[in-house]
Amino acid sequence: MAKLVIGSVPIHGHVTPLLAVAAGLVERGHQVRFLTGARFADAVARTGSDFIALPPEADFDHRELTQDVDKQRPPGIRGLRYDVREIFLRPAVAQYEALLDLVAQPTDAVMVDPTFVGAVMLTAQSGSKRPPVVVAGVLPLTLSSAAVPPFGLGLAPLRNPVLNRVRNTALRALVERVVFGPVQQQADAIFREVHGSPLHPFIIDWVSTADAIVQFSVPTFEYPRPDATIPLHYVGPLTSPSDLPTPPWWNELAQPAPVVLVTQGTIANRDFSELVRPTVEALAGEDILVVVTTGGRPVHELGPLPPNVRAAEYLPYDQLFPLLDLMVTNGGYGGVHYALAHAIPVVVAGGGEDKPEVAARVAWSGVGVNLHTGRPKPAAIRRAVREVLDHSRYRAAAGVTATQIAAAPGIVGLENHITALARHR
């Protein structure tokens, strides 16, 4: 039995896949202490793990925080810069101190999500003085590489390898020295207070200091990084079965017309005019059954719905996805992988956070269409939906990814990688 620590920022899309990890590891006989926000205490307890609360200065409710952030958050990569500075970097010292308290007890390995920046202060310690640190890839891979554009631009690699490296090198210099220059200075100052020296890697590339990255994806959906400097393992997406009830209209999903799901997830769902309402309008006259999930908001907040639309706050995805033909989404990493695990192609409107990166990977892998905006027009959505439904290559590409996901080692592979690191250390 290994004694493990899992750390996550208190954001639903980060915590949820790690809950599946925790449950799987506990089921396999390991002891897990789960460090995250207070509102996830019950969810952590249901996995059989020991819940450890983040210090107050590192805890927040992302639902409330996002409402304030959206008023100040600029668009594009400047928005990512704002998130790194205001949401992920500020709690770093408190996260680090919480980790120190935990690893003072016997600990075989620590696993954190990629935005748990306090872990970089732990990796800066000598390897003999700390347990192995593993990054759990619950977001698109942020690991820098000459073969990949800088994270945050929403760009895919070029097909020409020479031009690709030249472009990526120039973009990386621009992003690291200019766009994120002030953020890096802030990170250096915080790191210097703890360790007496500036942060060595670029702040978004802090994951390169970990002992390994276990990415919850498969190679067909992630850009190759032949120059990776640390072990990089793909274990596929990890999910838990749903116990949600089905709505009264569930039997209608068996009708012959295509079934299209549209969702804005559980966080970026305060303004349905971003994606849900335009999709409903775009497909109102089509021979398509449109299914909407509101992510917990009351269905009546959607407003009037056309006859071909059915809606619910939540739906049992494990039962829903085998019945779908397409998903229209704002690009949540977990939701897109859920669709791909069922060979469902996607149309993505990724406007902020990591979503442009997810959208770029959707187009690069051929599993769907990238709308290149978080607020698409109904006409653009209709064209994209018809493009995917009318051309089998998208479903075929999604099928290739689904095959890789089915063959991925999942929780067993993750366990093997963690325990191997622990034994080596």
- Together in a domain, 109 and 92: yes
Measured in residues, the chain has a length of 425
Residue 161 backbone dihedrals phi, psi, to 5 degrees: -65, -35
In a domain, 245, yes or no: no
Distance CA 385, CA 283 (A): 9
Q: Tell me: do 155 and 196 sit in the same domain.
A: yes
HEC profile of the chain = CCEEEEECCCCHHHHHHHHHHHHHHHHCCCEEEEEECHHHHHHHHHCCCEEEECCHHHCCCHHHHHHHHHHHCCCHHHHHHHHHHHHHHCCHHHHHHHHHHHHCCCCCEEEECCCCCCHHHHHCCCHHHCCCEEEEECCCCCCCCCCCCCCCCCCCCCCCHHHHHHHHHHHHHHHHHHHCHHHHHHHHHHHHHHHCCCCCCCHHHHHHHCCEEEECCCHHHCCCCCCCCCCEEECCCCCCCCCCCCCCCHHHHHCCCCEEEEECCCCCCCCCCCCHHHHHHHCCCCCCEEEEECCCCCHHHHCCCCCCEEEECCCCHHHHHHHCCEEEECCCHHHHHHHHHCCCCEEECCCCCCHHHHHHHHHHHCCEEECCCCCCCHHHHHHHHHHHHHCHHHHHHHHHHHHHHHHCCHHHHHHHHHHHHHHHC
One domain, residues 281 and 414: no
Model pLDDT, residue 74 = 66
Q: Based on the domain organization, do 257 and 224 belong to the same domain?
A: no
Q: Same domain, yes or no, for 41 and 163?
A: yes
> Would you state the structure tokens that stand for residue 97, as one six-digit string?
């101190």
Residue 322 maps to which CATH number? 3.40.50.2000
Residue 244 in domain: no
CA distance 407 to 235: 9
Distance CA 194, CA 190 (A): 7
pLDDT at 73: 63
**Could you read off the pLDDT of 305-357 as tens digits, one per residue?**
999 999 999 999 999 999 999 999 999 999 999 999 999 999 999 887 889 99
Based on the number of CB atoms within 10 Å of its own CB, is 82 exposed (0-12), middle (13-18) or buried (19 or more)? Answer: middle
* More confident: 298 or 72: 298
pLDDT digit string, tens, across residues 18-27 = 999 999 999 9
Is there a domain that residue 243 lies in?
no
Kindly state whether residues 365 and 261 are assigned to the same domain. Answer: yes
Flag whether 310 is in a domain. Answer: yes
pLDDT for residue 167: 98
Q: What is the pLDDT of residue 214?
A: 98
CB-CB contact of 371 with 349 (8 Å): yes
**What sign for the dihedral angle of Cα 210, 215, 219, 223?**
negative
Identify the pLDDT of residue 424.
Answer: 79
Q: Are residues 205 and 262 in the same domain?
A: no
Alpha-carbon gap, residue 184 to 89, rounded angstroms:
10
The C-alpha atoms of residue 233 and residue 393 are separated, in whole angstroms, by 28
Question: Torsions phi, psi of 283, nearest 5?
Answer: -105, 5
Among candidates 132, 114, 213, which has minimal Cα distance to 414? Answer: 213
Domain boundaries, position 392: 250-406
- When divided into structural domains, the chain yields a total of 2
115 & 164 share domain: yes
pLDDT at 265: 84
Q: pTM of whole model > 0.95?
A: no
The mean-pLDDT minimum among 68-77, 162-171, 276-285, 291-300 falls in 68-77
Residue 268 has pLDDT above 80, yes or no: no
**Residue 228 shares a structural domain with residue 177:** yes
- Percent of the chain exceeding pLDDT 70 equals 96
Give a yes or no: residue 193 inside a domain. yes
> Is 70 within the bounds of a domain?
yes
| Whole-angstrom distance, CA of residue 41 vs CA of residue 68 | 24
Cβ neighbours of residue 56 under 8 Å, at least 6 residues apart?
none
Task: Output phi, psi for 348, to 5 deg.
Answer: -120, 130
CA distances from 150 to 82, 157, 219, 350 (A): 16, 10, 18, 17
**Residues 367 and 377 sit within 8 Å (Cβ to Cβ):** no
Q: Could you identify the residue written with the tokens 């033909």?
A: 325
Give the model's pLDDT for residue 283. 98
Q: Are residues 29 and 145 in the same domain?
A: yes
For 223-262, write each residue's pLDDT tens digit.
999 999 999 999 999 887 788 999 999 999 998 999 999 9
Verify that 366 and 394 share a domain, yes or no: yes
Q: How confident is the model at residue 66 (pLDDT cuts 50, 70, 90)?
A: low
- Residue 62 pLDDT more than 90? no
What's the rounded Cα separation, in Å, for the pair 399 and 19?
Answer: 27
Q: Does 390 lie in the same domain as 416? A: no
